[in-house]
Structure 1
Amino acid sequence: MATATGPWFWLGNETLKVPLALFALNRRRLCERLRKNPAVQAGSVVLLQGGEETQRYCTDTGVLFRQESFFHWAFGVTEPSCYGVIDVDTGKSTLFVPRLPASHATWMGKSPVSWPHRAPLSSSLCAASTPTAAVSAGRPPLRASCSAASVTRHFSLPS
């Protein structure tokens, strides 16, 4: 039986331990495939939006959250409201996590997620108040001429 060494993604005793290096390998393989595709321009980035929490109709009852499979495949994240950016040329990736208001802990309890301990999932980790700010902050220097407004229109990000 193989054992996982190093940091891993694990949901408990009855599940397998998945090395965090697998998520980095997935992103690297994605970039390699995109670089080989002649339709993908040099300097491209991949912007991924993870799943969002929802409530049942007009109540305060939350629907059980399940992360989008493509987002989990790329970043290994099970928490809602995250974004990820992958630079196709360099393979560098950035995970953007939501900045929760102080009142969140009052109503929902202390978050069980410790983001600094999840940092190995990506090359850098940022907290962003809005998706547009996340894209603006994480855009590599070669994309400096691209405005946040054009990114918002192109990717149809919520404001």
Structure 2
Amino acid sequence: MWTPHRLPYIRGEAKPAGDPNDPSVCPFCVAVNQPDDEALVVARGTLVYAVLNLFPYNAGHLLVVPYRHIPDLTDLRADEAAEFMAFTQRAVRVLRVASNPHGFNIGINLGPVAGAGIAAHLHQHIVPRWGGDTNFMPVIGRTRVLPQLLRDTRELLAKTWAETSA
């Protein structure tokens, strides 16, 4: 399998340079100032947005991210927490319509030791799962097979998001 998009992640080249607490180098803070198709933003809310993961575990792997640069779930204000969860619920509905997954992994990694690649900016993962999607490739080859380009996935999910009620 040829998965060149994973190499920058494996080498650590995709990690933000500079102070991770500096919003000017935070990829989530930078993304909100780019066009949606370039940043792979699927939908924008008032306080949070949904974006495709650049290094997905599965096709359609979405992140829900607050606009405010905060590191911890406990830093969310009540209005942010409400929209954060509403966007997570909406992401599940959209992925069900667009991709018909059999299940989901949903979670937050708080801190680098918990697996957070970008620990300085809170984000929640919504990973669609299908029966048999964990086979020998991730176990032996340390490679995931994605059947669709990220830009095509973004276009599909953005269209479905717009067409799916909240």
TM-score (norm 1): 0.32
**Larger relative contact order, structure 1 or 2 (CA cutoff 8 Å, min sep 6):** 2
Q: Larger Rg: 1 or 2?
A: 1
